[in-house]
Chains A and B, each alone.
Chain A
Amino acid sequence: AQKVTQAQTEISVVEKEDVTLDCVYETRDTTYYLFWYKQPPSGELVFLIRRNSFDEQNEISGRYSWNFQKSTSSFNFTITASQVVDSAVYFCALTRNFGNEKLTFGTGTRLTIIP
Chain B
Amino acid sequence: DTGVSQDPRHKITKRGQNVTFRCDPISEHNRLYWYRQTLGQGPEFLTYFQNEAQLEKSRLLSDRFSAERPKGSFSTLEIQRTEQGDSAMYLCASSAEGGSYEQYFGPGTRLTVT
A residues near B, CB below 8 A?
4, 33, 35, 37, 42-47, 50, 91, 93, 98-108
Name the residue on A nearest B108 (C-beta). A43
Given contacts A44-B105, A44-B106, A47-B104, contact A103 B45 (CB under 8 A): yes
Give the dominant DSSP class at A's interface. loop
Residues of B within 8 A of A45 (CB): 43, 91, 93, 105
B residues near A, CB below 8 A?
31, 33, 35, 40-45, 48, 56, 58, 89, 91, 93, 95, 97, 100-108
Name the residue on B nearest A98 (C-beta). B101
Name the residue on B nearest A93 (C-beta). B42
A108, B42: Cβ atoms under 8 Å? yes
13 pairs from A and B in contact (CB 8 Å cutoff): A42-B107, A43-B108, A45-B93, A45-B105, A46-B105, A47-B103, A50-B100, A102-B48, A103-B33, A103-B35, A103-B45, A106-B42, A108-B41
CA distance A90 to B112 in the complex (A): 24
CA distance A107 to B103 in the complex (A): 18
Residues of A within 8 A of B95 (CB): 100
A107, B41: Cβ atoms under 8 Å? yes
Residues of B within 8 A of A105 (CB): 42-44
CA distance A4 to B33 in the complex (A): 19
